[in-house]
Structure 1
Amino acid sequence: MRNYIPILTFFLFCHSVLAQQAASVSGQITEATSGAALESVNVGLQGTTLGTTTDAQGNFLLSGIEPGNYNLVISSVGYTTISRGIKLNAGETLTFNLQLRSGATELQEVEITGRKETTYQNSVSFIGSKTATPLQDVPQAVSYVTKEIIQDQQAYRTSDIVKNLSGVNQFSYYDDYTIRGFRNGSTQSNLINGLRSVGIFGPQPLLTNMERVEVIKGPASALFADVNPGGTINYVTKKPLDEDRKSIGFTIGSFNTLRATADFTGPMNESGTLLYRLNLGYEDTDTFRDLQQKTTYIIAPSISFLPTDKTSVNFDLVINRYQGKLDRGQPIFGASAGDDLNSTPTSFALGQANDYHKNNVQYFTLSLNHRFTDALSFNASYMKFSWNEDLFEHRTSNRFAVDSLGNQIPTQMEMQTINRIRKQVADNLTTYFVLNGSTGPLQHQLVVGFDYIQQVQPAGGAQARSFGYRTIDGGVASGYDPSQSQFFRFENGMPVPNVPHFNLENPNYTIGYPNEYLVNSNLPQPATRYFTYGFYVQDQISLGKFQALLALRQENYRDVVGYKTEEEELVKQEKLLPRIGLVYELNERINLYGTYTESFQPQTASVLQDPNVGGPFDPLSANMWEAGIKSTFFNELFSVNLAIYRIEQNNILVNANNAGNPDLLEQRGQERAKGVEIDVIGNPLPNFSLNFNYAYNRAEITESDNEEEIGRIKENAPEHQGGIWAKYTFAKGIFSGLGISLGSNFVTERNTFDTYSIVDGVPLGLTLPSYVVFDAALSYRVNKFNIAANFNNLLDKTHWVGGYSYTRLYPDAPRNFLLSVGYTF
């Protein structure tokens, strides 16, 4: 932070010097019927970054405005937006006293219409309580990134923006992250508008159509069923607005990157009861990784129907197509050659020229809100999510080649091929009633609901694999056994691999011919199905400065073994999940909170029913205690959230290391994470935007039958990480319209899965080094055009964002740039 103080001081100095010639707008906003002053009303100049909100007396002041013609826009949730053309002369102050009338776009219980704000800050979220609740009143930490940060950083995928989220760390190139030290995994489903998607192995979701990305920290099973104990990622799609906004953008950059985006929204009829939004995105890039070219496009229309002031409906459709290769990461020389992460270039990838990975993702969402009375409403949302995968790849077998004696060759990688076709479909329905009422001095918001989630892998998929070593009888063995060497083929004194080894010292990218390999297995992908449903009740109780959130959910998980076969069997796992949260309003700007919540992650049916693995096993269970402070400043334009937490996870399955049964598992151990997080976000000055985050987290194994594991830090769980992104835009003078952004993020050392022992309390194995990366951006807005240049990894720091082992590490990009031009109309 010390390095940024002179820059901030310079900006403030320029602001004060030029302010003397600037114009101002002031006034008061009241409610049309009662005449009462309205607080937190948004006041801004369309097409600029100038904006503010009204104070408790309804007053506002916009200062530092360059003389000229503007469109003054006054908006607030639940009221009709006012737009008025104004002309400002040098040194002039215009005063307006305006009244707002109630409108159809009142505070939503299901997010039907879009967020109008154009700042880094978001004040209301649905993820914390399933109703529109100010984040200040949610008794649990929620981190988020709005579309404004996404735009300013020219981010295109989730991995581009996790540096803005405290306690969230990238694990690999897939949709795969560590949250508070616990891995959500590439197959762990995320949420879209609070509804369950399919856990996709491979491409990350594009951000073209996202309003914000938010993470509710810690267990959230009481809200969303079986989810990760560290936290849950929720993607909120852009919804239609009741005002016309249209923009297009084009981007070029390093690695032959070409992008195009479009965002159109507004009313479709004069009455404003039918709204639309259309988001389009396209990308073609080579990336900094060898062989990893990819082409992606997205089409995302959305329609909102507001037939009456009591009923609203929204429909979203997203079609996403991806074609590229599945990047398995950077391999390095094996452990016997030393722990040199630079033994191969960070651009180095395994594979062949004819590998491919095609993904088709499409989902649609239908949401309904109907208000029977001012006190009672009904809400329902349904999402159908479908994913098709077509994969052919040459990839590592996750082990190095061996010589005739079985000794590892650290510069030769054992390879395999996988050809896979599959489809997965998810259905997610959530329905609930909201009742507002009181019992004596207590105010209640009661939520009673039912959720149903189903995921199916239909018949018709298949997977073929080729790997291992050739035998003298013309067959193939899964691995080479030097004690049985007489049964294996040899060339030049070395066992013959089924798929040729990959030379890490002298890579050779050619066209691979699958017909030259023997197929170890060619099996249909089994039809699978699981479904889970839950009944829940939640009460948000208010009494003076105290608020309590009490919730209870009965979860019923069902896994179908032998789906669509004669042996079909239903496996049941059930859990009662509590959630308790308290909020105390210390003053009008500061809230204190505390919470206790639990998580539930069932074991899969294949594990429960397999006699070779032992069992039966209990579901994974976790609990969290959390306390914190949430505060706002500068008329709620700036927020600070501080959280302290403790998470415990139990019933982790590990291999029993039984020589007679290598598949035997045992359930033991406990993992614990303790930490502190802080998020600072908003606009402390009209032209100054800031996002700052820091997290300290110690995630370690606390109980284990293997004493060497106790005290070991979990994989890819850094103890310290954080970041800052600051933007200042000049509003007047010769630099008017110029924006300057500076950013930096750091992550400390992390373990990989190759941390295999502890000596004198020190873990031995492969670790990923700490890093600090700096970014910067320049932008210039003139009339309706915006030109921006982003420079990432300014100092060209070689670093790794995640990794599994010597065979698969995940380096980040070297120094690179993006240049974009956008037009708003």
Structure 2
Amino acid sequence: MKKIILLTLIFILPLGVISAFAQSAGIKGKVTDATGSPLEFANISLKNTKQGAITDANGEFSISEVNPGAYSLIVSSIGYEKQTREINLEKGQILEENFRMSELQLGLQTVEIVGRREVGYDNKETFSSTKTASLIKDVPSTINFVTKELILDQVAFTVNDVVKNVPGVNQFSFYNDISIRGFRIQGQRNSGTLLNGMRTFTSFWKPQLIPHIERVEVIKGPASALFGNASPGGSINRVTKKPLEESRKSISTTVGSFNTIRALADFTGAMSEDKKLLYRLNLGFENSDGFRDLQFSRNLVIAPSFAFLPTAHTSLNFDIVYQDSKGRLDRGQAAFGNRDLTTTPITTSLSAINDYLNEVTINATVSLLHNFSEAISFNSTYQLSSYTEDLLEHRTSNQFAALGDGSLDDTKVAMRVFIRKRSWNNNAFNNYLNAAYNLGSIKNTALIGYDYFRQEQLPGGSQLEARTYLLKNGNAVNSYNPDNRDNYQLDAEGNPLTNVAHFDLTSPISNGIRDMSKYIYNQVTYNQYLQQTHGIYLQNQSEIGPLKVLLGLRQEYFQDLLNYNSPEEEEVKQQALLPRVGLVYTINPRINLYGTWVQGYQPQEAAGIINPDAGGPFDPLTSEMFEVGAKTEWFNKRVSGTVSLYQIKERGGLYNANNPDNPELMLQLGEEQSRGVELNLSGNILPNWSIVAGYAFNDAKITQADIEEVVGRQKPNAPKNSANFWTKYIFENGSINGLGIGLGYNYVSDRFGSIVSADQPDVFPAYGIVDAALYYKLEKVQFQVNANNLFNKTHWVGGYDVLRAFPGSPRSIMTTVSYTF
């Protein structure tokens, strides 16, 4: 009986398989561009199924074994308009469908409401550089970016982790403190740091977190014509992840060196059946000890986003980003006074175990976009941000320990203590009207906008400072003057007694707990201030055949109210007229040439400096940039490249004066100049082969200053040469299908420290770092191992001097498991 059943199955099963194949259908076709040339690597998919194909070198594709029925056939390729075609398949039918793709023509959208659908290291469009949706190749300035895909591939968690992928950009310190083309941008300033194209207030002490970020954009040059006060080198814009119509969910966990644990989650999709209400929720958590003594990071990010699309003409977006960061303020490594950074371990920090830094940042953004017609649109965005700082730190007095005769003991660091609490609120309100119109054969897009920005330091901001040396009158000061030794309390050997004990670089117990009640404190009150700016600007983009012309003009009004809400309230007003001119010329579909001229302006009143001990008043910082370059696309627009030549002049830059009596005192220079060349390449050579590479030569010098010795000196923390490379390759065939490898290299030449004085500055040596990664994807699960600084190279990312040097991380291993569903 069993043999009969077996013979029956052997006879029936092949007939069933043959019947199934006979009843299934298939699709084949060809995809070309507007000129009829084949498009390789275009994506073809059947909506709501897992069936699809990718075109070959001839632009051809085929999909087999499709069940009969009605489908939506979708074709997409980077840089081209997506096409959807409704089809019906009958039993046994092989349907032929050919597509001719049109280049992506961006409309008048001025803010991102829904998410980016591109997947990879390349990004084709920007909203922030012109305040309209523009192809990056058509923008007359350099815009570099790091996408979320590259962020995940490198297991990056902060902006400081990813700027190594951008030519001409490097860390200035451990902090939220970046150098672009030799010019510094930093937190706790409202210039150079943007969130979704809006000026925002951020921490200075901790790098900005990015688990909720779609991409990090670096807009090179002074963008004052768009954003008001802006850094001469450029601005960093963090674009948050926005909702998508389709349902996507992913979670990942990372464990690794320095007791690091991270968890990320990203959920998006429709909240209503008609897909008019979309959501996205990003969660991020990190707990890490770091490689530095006593330093740790405990970070939490909660970032919900909602998009409401009531009609085809109106859309509304609401974002909240909540960040809670706990740790200690790391002032860097101190080495002995012989200027040899290797005399102390790179793990050396000056913190005490009872130090802390707690910060909370909240950003809430509402964006409205309405299209009155195909030619006219209006955008209005309001952003509220708040920041709170709660700090206790033991830190250097920026000098070695003084002896009674005025000499220094370079094995000990003079110390002081800060206990500080401060809070700020920021309000930004941006409104833009766009209109497309034609003048004969000339296509134009005009923009008129009004911006309002308000930054307020709230009541109660204050600091207790325990200074270094004890005076006989019961007070304390930060410096010792042997000419006035009779004013100081001295020990039996004639050395000045300390209020805060020196940090002994030779002792293993210098980081121990300190009794805060035994210090003598001076109180500093950060008086309330209010800073307001009003900006009105016009912009017109014209297209005259192959030539695109951008003209912009902004009138900015600045108002500072010092000692706000007090009888001593003082008003300071400034204004600036800021022009911008740009040209783009299309040589052929692959290559655009561009040129730009722009001016910048930054007030430098006390409200902007946020430090009552910095000195002043200071003149405003002004800047001017000329830039020319070329932008190109290759491999069917999957790879983008930029080459740029620039000159930037800045007048009125501020640097630490290295004054022992007032370590916070700033010095204003006359003029600085940066000239350079940058090369950048990003994208996918093949669908499974991604690359990011760049090189920058930057000759950034001090050209005018009261201190003659610094004229002609390279600007602080501005390397002349830097290079970056990262590539990822995924194997798609054979027994190693799904296995991937990543390899990267970063080079930075030597740099001067940031103390500007007649003395020769400390030098931070050149370095080259190799990173590597392994990936393995099994259906919805990906396993990933990253080895950063593979060869354990000792290096320093920046610094002020040998008392405040910022070493880079030694070798670290991070293991990540991700699940997508």
User: Partner of 1:163: helix, strand, or coil?
Assistant: helix
Return the match for 2:295 from 268, 292, 299: 292
Alpha-carbon shift at residue 52 of structure 1 (Å): 6.7
Report 1:546-561 matches (<5 A): 546-561=547-562
User: Partner of 1:490: helix, strand, or coil?
Assistant: coil
Report 1:370-385 matches (<5 A): 370-385=370-385
Alpha-carbon shift at residue 735 of structure 1 (Å): 1.0
1:791 is aligned to: 787
Contact 2:73 2:84 in 1 (8 A): no
1:443 is aligned to: 443
Alpha-carbon shift at residue 661 of structure 1 (Å): 13
Amino acid at match of 1:704: A
Contact 1:755 1:767 in 2 (8 A): no
Alpha-carbon shift at residue 360 of structure 1 (Å): 0.6
Alpha-carbon shift at residue 108 of structure 1 (Å): 2.9
2:714 is aligned to: 713
Q: Distance in 2 between matches of 1:609 and 1:148?
A: 36
Contact 2:716 2:755 in 1 (8 A): no
Contact 2:148 2:214 in 1 (8 A): yes
Return the match for 2:317 from 314, 320, 325: 314
Alpha-carbon shift at residue 40 of structure 1 (Å): 11
Does residue 804 of the first structure (1) align with residue 807 of the second (2)? no
The runs of 5 or more residues in structure 1 that have no matched partner are: 1-23, 87-92, 759-763
1:773 is aligned to: 769
Q: Distance in 2 between matches of 1:143 and 1:475?
A: 52
User: Partner of 1:321: helix, strand, or coil?
Assistant: strand
Change (3 A) 1:451 1:473: closer
Does residue 536 of the first structure (1) align with residue 537 of the second (2)? yes
Number of equivalent positions? 779
Q: Distance in 1 between matches of 2:620 and 2:685?
A: 46
User: Partner of 1:797: helix, strand, or coil?
Assistant: coil
Q: Distance in 2 between matches of 1:609 and 1:324?
A: 22
Amino acid at match of 1:730: F
2:353 is aligned to: 353
Q: Distance in 2 between matches of 1:531 and 1:324?
A: 32
Amino acid at match of 1:812: G
Q: Distance in 1 between matches of 2:764 and 2:51?
A: 40
Alignment root-mean-square deviation, CA: 3.6
Q: Distance in 1 between matches of 2:53 and 2:648?
A: 40
1:233-253 CA-to-partner distances (Å, cap 9, x unmatched) read 000000001111100001000
Contact 1:50 1:62 in 2 (8 A): no
User: Partner of 1:347: helix, strand, or coil?
Assistant: coil
Amino acid at match of 1:639: S
Q: Distance in 2 between matches of 1:209 and 1:610?
A: 31
Change (3 A) 1:515 1:616: closer
Amino acid at match of 2:358: K
1:397-456 CA-to-partner distances (Å, cap 9, x unmatched) read 111111111211101011111111111111111101000011111110000000111111
The answer to which of 727-736 and 768-777 deviates more is: 727-736
Alpha-carbon shift at residue 567 of structure 1 (Å): 2.5
1:108 is aligned to: 109
Return the match for 1:203 from 194, 202, 206: 206
Alpha-carbon shift at residue 533 of structure 1 (Å): 1.1
Q: Distance in 2 between matches of 1:496 and 1:722?
A: 49
Q: Distance in 1 between matches of 2:64 and 2:263?
A: 32
Alpha-carbon shift at residue 756 of structure 1 (Å): 4.3
Report 1:222-233 matches (<5 A): 222-233=225-236
Return the match for 1:191 from 183, 189, 194: 194
User: Partner of 2:414: helix, strand, or coil?
Assistant: strand
1:515 is aligned to: 517
1:741-790 CA-to-partner distances (Å, cap 9, x unmatched) read 110000001000346448xxxxx331000001001000011110000000
User: Partner of 2:341: helix, strand, or coil?
Assistant: coil
1:149-197 CA-to-partner distances (Å, cap 9, x unmatched) read 0010011111111110010010111110110011113433310000011
Contact 1:571 1:605 in 2 (8 A): no
Amino acid at match of 1:134: L
Amino acid at match of 1:346: I
1:17 is aligned to: none
User: Partner of 2:287: helix, strand, or coil?
Assistant: strand
Q: Distance in 2 between matches of 1:196 and 1:608?
A: 16
Amino acid at match of 2:717: N
Q: Distance in 2 between matches of 1:729 and 1:661?
A: 56
1:604 is aligned to: 605
Q: Distance in 2 between matches of 1:285 and 1:691?
A: 28
Amino acid at match of 2:319: D
Amino acid at match of 1:512: R
Amino acid at match of 1:429: F
Q: Which has the larger radius of gyration?
A: 2
2:284 is aligned to: 281
Alpha-carbon shift at residue 84 of structure 1 (Å): 11
Q: Distance in 1 between matches of 2:427 and 2:177?
A: 22
Does residue 330 of the first structure (1) align with residue 333 of the second (2)? yes
Q: Distance in 2 between matches of 1:599 and 1:444?
A: 25
The answer to which of 177-186 and 245-254 deviates more is: 177-186
Does residue 824 of the first structure (1) align with residue 820 of the second (2)? yes
Amino acid at match of 2:429: L
Q: Distance in 2 between matches of 1:67 and 1:407?
A: 86
Q: Distance in 2 between matches of 1:161 and 1:138?
A: 23
Q: Distance in 2 between matches of 1:558 and 1:678?
A: 40
User: Partner of 1:160: helix, strand, or coil?
Assistant: helix
Contact 2:423 2:461 in 1 (8 A): yes
Amino acid at match of 2:696: A
1:235 is aligned to: 238
Q: Distance in 1 between matches of 2:307 and 2:715?
A: 45
Amino acid at match of 1:425: N
Change (3 A) 1:116 1:475: same
Q: Distance in 1 between matches of 2:744 and 2:660?
A: 52
Alpha-carbon shift at residue 95 of structure 1 (Å): 5.9
Contact 1:66 1:732 in 2 (8 A): no
Alpha-carbon shift at residue 557 of structure 1 (Å): 0.8
1:212 is aligned to: 215
Report 1:139-158 matches (<5 A): 139-158=140-159
Change (3 A) 1:81 1:795: farther
Change (3 A) 1:484 1:177: same
2:253 is aligned to: 250
2:778 is aligned to: 782
1:429 is aligned to: 429
The runs of 5 or more residues in structure 2 that have no matched partner are: 1-25
Change (3 A) 1:66 1:442: same
Alpha-carbon shift at residue 616 of structure 1 (Å): 7.0
Change (3 A) 1:616 1:85: farther
The answer to which of 602-611 and 182-191 deviates more is: 602-611
Contact 2:725 2:744 in 1 (8 A): yes
Change (3 A) 1:570 1:609: farther
Q: Distance in 1 between matches of 2:665 and 2:352?
A: 36
2:274 is aligned to: 271
Contact 2:655 2:756 in 1 (8 A): no
Alpha-carbon shift at residue 678 of structure 1 (Å): 0.7
1:99-132 CA-to-partner distances (Å, cap 9, x unmatched) read 999x9x9773211000011111100001220110
User: Partner of 2:517: helix, strand, or coil?
Assistant: helix
Q: Distance in 2 between matches of 1:460 and 1:471?
A: 29
1:125 is aligned to: 126
1:591 is aligned to: 592
Alpha-carbon shift at residue 664 of structure 1 (Å): 10
Q: Distance in 1 between matches of 2:181 and 2:603?
A: 20
Q: Distance in 2 between matches of 1:609 and 1:356?
A: 21
1:511-555 CA-to-partner distances (Å, cap 9, x unmatched) read 111101111x12332111101111000000001100000000001
Contact 2:678 2:697 in 1 (8 A): yes
User: Partner of 2:330: helix, strand, or coil?
Assistant: coil
Q: Distance in 2 between matches of 1:662 and 1:324?
A: 24
2:640 is aligned to: 639
1:221 is aligned to: 224
Identity among equivalent pairs (%): 43
Q: Distance in 2 between matches of 1:27 and 1:289?
A: 59
Amino acid at match of 2:399: R
Change (3 A) 1:266 1:674: same
1:700 is aligned to: 701
2:567 is aligned to: 566
Q: Distance in 2 between matches of 1:248 and 1:659?
A: 51
Contact 2:434 2:447 in 1 (8 A): yes
1:16 is aligned to: none
Contact 2:702 2:712 in 1 (8 A): yes
Q: Distance in 2 between matches of 1:784 and 1:393?
A: 46
1:545-580 CA-to-partner distances (Å, cap 9, x unmatched) read 000000000011111122111222321111100000
